[in-house]
């Protein structure tokens, strides 16, 4: 299984946990990981170092199938070489005659011709392809590559309870920001001013969630210090516990895609701050409120008032809608069982 695993990203770890949850019981997984010890401790599975070519080669030689785990693996906005890493592994597996599955993928954004060529070739050679959004589906249709479309697999991830969070006073607001070029100091300052006023107006307790501490912790600490002991930073390595945090939350303000998916699936009102097309697609598909960071309102008071109004008057998705999303996400499981069995 190849993905952005063992790198401390809560969203990618949630995809791995969901993938393991969905596998046929007869499958023995081997995870390509950036931290084999943590991967083995969290999931009780075999793991090899994701950047050691010799280890990867041995893992492929001993395997019957390769699964590209979910998420935006094939995109070149966070790094030009990233898709070539995943593409090299996929093409090697295909040349070796392994069953190859691209599972729960969100393709793009793709800026370079070489990435476009690589993506088309890799997906065309897969035994099965499942994608999580309409843009990815449209691209595969353009390439005339068969695919299955279903909601992000994490909709179907089982969460674990954290009863001690019930002791925190209500309302409880979770906020998940990440370092990004669109989250400039000026925009972060506006969000902090709005959040401080929002907390004063609503008397809320703020749970700050760094989904990937290596990227998000500094922003989380700035937020936490501005909120003067009416907040808590919570970092969870176990993705089922991370999803469980949202059981105890009334509203989520999130940049991270999976903070929004986890929040909605646990019954929270969710307000999106978009830095990427995948967030925009979620806003559009589910009709949740949000702003593009590039077009963030200039007045912190207006931002605060919008959040207060949403907390007091806004509605979360119905349990029926959430159940439908989780059920449809199990289509990704059907693909695994049909192909691997």
- The CATH number assigned to the domain holding 207 equals 3.40.50.2000
- Region 271-296 average pLDDT: 96
Same domain assignment for residues 66 and 127 = yes
Q: What is the pLDDT of residues 65-77, one digit of tens each?
A: 999 999 999 999 8
Q: What is the pLDDT of residues 25-62, one digit of tens each?
A: 999 999 999 999 999 999 999 999 999 999 999 999 99
CA angle 278, 281, 284 (to 5 degrees): 155
- Region 291-296 average pLDDT: 97
pLDDT at residue 228 in the model: 79
In the chain, the number of structural domains is 2
CB 18 within 8 A of CB 157: yes
Q: What is the pLDDT of residues 67-121, one digit of tens each?
A: 999 999 999 988 888 999 999 999 999 999 999 999 999 999 999 999 999 999 9
Sequence-separated (6 or more) residues with CB below 8 Å from residue 287: none
Q: Is residue 158 part of a domain?
A: no
Same domain assignment for residues 199 and 287 = yes
- 158 by DSSP, 3-state: which? coil
Same domain assignment for residues 111 and 212 = no
Q: Rounded to an integer, what distance in angstroms lies between the CA atom of residue 78 and that of residue 86?
A: 14
The mean predicted confidence, pLDDT, of the chain is 96
Examine residue 105 and say whether the peptide bond preceding it is cis (omega within 30 degrees of 0): no
Sequence-separated (6 or more) residues with CB below 8 Å from residue 323: none
Q: Is residue 296 part of a domain?
A: yes
Domain that holds residue 272: 163-322
Residue 83: which H helix or E strand, with range?
helix 82-95
Same domain assignment for residues 124 and 268 = no
Q: What is the pLDDT of residues 152-172, one digit of tens each?
A: 999 999 999 999 999 999 999
CB 148 within 8 A of CB 339: no
Q: Is the pLDDT of residue 229 over 80?
A: no
Give the residue from 149, 174, 209 where a domain finishes.
149
Give the residue from 149, 182, 201 where a domain finishes.
149
pLDDT at residue 156 in the model: 98
Same domain assignment for residues 318 and 178 = yes
| Residue spans of beta strands (DSSP E) within 110-183 | 128-131, 148-149, 172-176
- Region 237-241 average pLDDT: 97
pTM for the full model? 0.96
- Region 296-310 average pLDDT: 98
pLDDT at residue 152 in the model: 98
């Amino acid at each position: 299984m190849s993905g952005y695993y063992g790198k401390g990203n809560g969203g990618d770890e949630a995809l791995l946990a969901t993938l393991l949850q969905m596998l046929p019981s007869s499958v023995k997984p081997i995870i390509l990981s950036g931290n084999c010890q943590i991967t083995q401790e969290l999931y009780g599975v075999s793991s090899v170092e994701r950047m050691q070519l010799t280890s990867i080669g041995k893992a492929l030689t001993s395997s019957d199938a390769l699964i590209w785990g979910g998420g935006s693996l094939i995109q070149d906005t966070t790094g030009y070489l990233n898709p070539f890493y995943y593409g090299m592994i996929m093409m090697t597996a295909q040349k070796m005659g392994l069953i190859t599955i691209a599972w729960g993928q969100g393709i793009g954004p793709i800026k370079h011709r070489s990435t476009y060529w690589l993506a088309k070739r890799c997906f065309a050679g897969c035994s099965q392809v499942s994608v999580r959004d309409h843009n990815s589906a449209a691209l595969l249709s353009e390439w005339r590559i068969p695919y299955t479309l279903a909601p992000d697999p994490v909709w179907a991830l089982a969460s674990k309870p954290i009863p001690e969070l019930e002791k925190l006073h209500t309302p409880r607001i979770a906020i998940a920001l990440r370092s990004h070029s669109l989250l400039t100091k000026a925009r972060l300052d506006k969000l902090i001013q709005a959040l401080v006023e929002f907390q004063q107006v609503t008397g809320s307790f703020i749970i700050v969630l760094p989904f990937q501490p290596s990227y998000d912790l500094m922003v989380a600490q700035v937020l936490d210090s501005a909120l003067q002991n009416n907040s808590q930073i919570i970092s969870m390595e176990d993705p089922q516990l991370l999803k469980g945090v949202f059981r105890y939350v009334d509203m989520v303000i999130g940049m991270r895609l999976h903070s929004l998916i986890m929040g909605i699936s646990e019954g929270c009102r969710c307000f999106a701050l978009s830095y990427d097309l995948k967030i925009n697609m979620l806003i559009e598909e589910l009709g949740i409120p949000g702003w593009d960071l590039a077009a963030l309102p200039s007045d912190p008071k207006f931002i605060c008032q919008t959040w207060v109004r949403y907390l007091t008057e806004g509605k979360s998705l119905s349990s029926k809608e959430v159940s439908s999303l989780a059920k449809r996400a199990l289509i990704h499981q059907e693909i695994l069982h049909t192909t691997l069995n």
